[in-house]
Amino acid sequence: MQLYGVDPATVGAAVRILVEEDRADHIDLNFGCPVPKVTRRGGGAALPWKLDLFTGIVQTAVREASKGGIPLTIKMRKGIDEDHLTFLEAGRIARDSGVAAVALHGRTASQYYSGTADWSAIAELRNALPDIPVLGNGDIWSAEDAVRMVRETGVDGVVIGRGCQGRPWLFGDLMNAFEGSAERHQPGLGQVAETVYRHAELLVDAFGSEMMGLRDIRKHMAWYFKGYVVGGELRARLATVPTLEVLRGLLAELDADSPYPGADAEGPRGRAGSPKKTSLPEHWLQSRRLNEAQQADISAAELDVSGG
């Protein structure tokens, strides 16, 4: 389970609950979110800039997780922007705090998802932390990309984000690639349709509400059917599907025998956005430590900010 938080006491309490209630086999702390509603309160990719706050959160979380023998990892970005990089210091703090592994997305917060992930920074972190596992993240759209990242950076493994949107079989491809198999999953349109329906069923079960589950599946439609022959009208109806019954009917209109479209179904997924100045708390960059006003703001932010 991945946690987001901006206050050591709150994050520690959350980890304690997960451990005591046996809710997770692995806990990850998210220090990579670039979304303004998170960074403007000092969270996500903005947080490692404050060394005292970052250290307090990681140390508290590791201490609570260790009570149940649960591995705790962190995921982070290079920094806020190219002039305010944090990944090397944050990586060393995390290692010294006892994390099980560190994952790095090779972009800054200001990049959002634009441009190209900086794999050289991932290699730099790998070299700086030879005594714990380092994982790479960013621009892995295929098993071949993952193998190339490991070869070029020396990381111990990869973390997949947008690459699996609409492609849950990517993980099977990764398993095959790392085991030396050339076999890849190339589903025809019929298999994709079956997967979409099963995904929707699981969402309904998870939310306990058909309305909520179907509302969530809508955003996945463009990702699942990227590159496949699906008419514009049908795509629009799938993007507003209200019930499982309607979904089944719409999926039945697809040509189940249509084969895998090859490269058209692969590559980048989701919106990359464009570089933008990161929203930060007032005077955030003036010091690497919290001042009294920022400490008060952090405590208040924990009350009304969610996500990550």
Catalytic annotation, residues = 33
Strands, E assignment, the chain: 2-3, 27-31, 72-77, 79-81, 84-85, 101-105, 134-137, 157-159
Using CA atoms, how far residue 258 sits from 230, 249, 288, in Å, is 10, 17, 56
Q: Is the dihedral of CA 73, 78, 84, 86 positive or negative?
A: positive
Contact in structure between 123 and 104 (CB atoms under 8 Å): no
Contact in structure between 73 and 103 (CB atoms under 8 Å): yes
Count other Cβ atoms within 10 Å, centred on residue 205. 11
Determine the distance from the C-alpha atom of residue 240 to the mean position of all C-alpha atoms in its chain, rounded to a whole number: 25
CA distance 98 to 115: 33
Strands, E assignment, 154-293: 157-159
3-state secondary structure of 85: strand
Using CA atoms, how far residue 224 sits from 20, 177, 201, in Å, is 37, 22, 16
Tell me the two tokens of residue 30: 């998210």
Furthest CA-CA distance within the chain = 64
Nearest in space to 56 (alpha carbons), one of 94, 85, 18, 87: 94
